[in-house]
Structure 1
Amino acid sequence: MPTRQEQLLDAAIGILGTQGIRALTHRAVDAAAALPTGSAANYFKTRDALISAVVDRFVERDRVAWETIAGFVRPTTPAELAAALVAYVHRVLGPERAVTLARYGLFVEAALHPELQAGLAEAAATIRGWGTHWLRAAGSADPERDSAAILDYLDGVILHQLTYPKPIEQLEDAVTRTVRSLCTLG
């Protein structure tokens, strides 16, 4: 059961993903969390403190989600890795679309406010580590480099698909071709 503070931060992530950063106010968070007015302000005295806490909560939720993925995804071939990544893209563009939009909103905030970057960078490094392991198992000649390349590529693909979507089959084909080429280049 989430704490009251976690409820507020989860509501804030929901606001970011459905209404954008401009809508993120203490009052909006209170309403979205169905808590009394002033609840968010009691925990987060300023909007900057709220955004900083949202980044921390987002990183924690993202870590748990990726740990779950890493616990059951064990690709050993380029085809298996491509299928796992295509499934991930489907999830973040479908049922987790609002969380994905919140992610990109936080990326923009971190670009404007460097003090937010450390937590996001640490989370990215952990995810790249899992990617390195998967790419090594799938036959990559340089799994660290390829992990960075494929995860950066996926970020771009996901952002483009959110902004100006293509038919999903084109996206699946592009991800599959990219993963296979990274795993077969020497």
Structure 2
Amino acid sequence: MRRNPERRAALVDAAIEVLAREGARGLTFRAVDAQAAVPPGTASNYFSSRDDLLTQAGGRIYERLEPDETTMTLALTGPRDKDRVVELLREMVARISAYSTGYLALLELRLEATRRPELRAVLTERIRADVEANVRIHLGSGLPGDATAVKLLYLALNWLIVERLTLPDVFSEAEADELVARAAERLILG
């Protein structure tokens, strides 16, 4: 296998774009090569199999979805109230929605994971770690709400993001923003 990390990352990013546009069935080495604008056969030199490519795409999506340092600082400073929670949740929805191809590719990977145990294991581990980190950071920050509220917000907001990316006319931008605030209010304040 080739070891050029920049080329590997570009190929994985290309795979994410193909997944989002064509679905899991459209993800071939040839399609990745074309998306990355590299010579035919390049992707097959970097990945041992299609499963390897799918698994690496899943990991890369999460790297790109991570909040930046400014967002993390905001989460850990300032007032510890419902309004701060709403602000952070709105930022998260906007950040994830802005990387629409990544999130759509992740949905494809989740569906593909129902048929591929190795991919299921990787995604389960990664998503479980993400949920646990969200709970740990939230509880450690002193923001209102318990672990169950964080998990329920995770579930609710993930589906709101799915609606925004797949059926954007179901909820207007303003309505989606209001739903984030109401979900936080009800789940955190009871």
- The interval holding the TM-score normalised by the smaller chain is 0.7 to 0.9
Q: Distance in 2 between matches of 1:3 and 1:145?
A: 40
* Counterpart position of 1:20: 23
Q: Distance in 2 between matches of 1:164 and 1:51?
A: 25
TM-score for both structures, normalised by structure 2: 0.82
Residue deviations 1:134-163 (CA, integer Å, cap 9, x gap): 2562221xx221121110111111112223
Q: Distance in 2 between matches of 1:70 and 1:125?
A: 19
Answer whether contact 2:20 2:105 (CA < 8 A) is retained. yes
Quick one: which of 53, 56, 59 aligns to 1:53? Answer: 56
Q: How many residues align?
A: 180
Segment drifting more, 43-52 vs 147-156: 43-52
Gap change, CA 1:61 and 1:118, over 3 Å in 2:
farther
Q: Distance in 2 between matches of 1:46 and 1:2?
A: 18
Residue deviations 1:3-47 (CA, integer Å, cap 9, x gap): 221111111112112332222110111121121110111122432
* Counterpart position of 2:7: 4
Answer whether contact 1:13 1:99 (CA < 8 A) is retained. yes
* Counterpart position of 2:72: 70
Segment drifting more, 43-52 vs 145-154: 43-52
CA RMSD, 1 decimal: 2.3
Q: How far is the alpha carbon of 1:2 from its aligned partner? A: 4.9
Residue deviations 1:112-153 (CA, integer Å, cap 9, x gap): 22321232223323332343232562221xx22112111011
Answer whether contact 1:29 1:40 (CA < 8 A) is retained. yes
Q: How far is the alpha carbon of 1:180 from its aligned partner? A: 1.3
Q: Which runs of 5+ in 1 are unaligned?
A: none
Displaced runs of 4+ in structure 1, greater than 6 A?
A: none
> Given the alignment of the two structures, is residue 183 of structure 1 paired with residue 188 of structure 2, yes or no?
yes
TM-score for both structures, normalised by structure 1: 0.84
Matches within 5 A, 1:75-154: 76-93=80-97, 95-132=98-135, 133-134=137-138, 137-140=142-145, 143-154=146-157
- Percent identity over paired residues: 31
Quick one: which of 26, 37, 42 aligns to 1:39? Answer: 42
Q: Distance in 1 between matches of 2:188 and 2:126?
A: 24
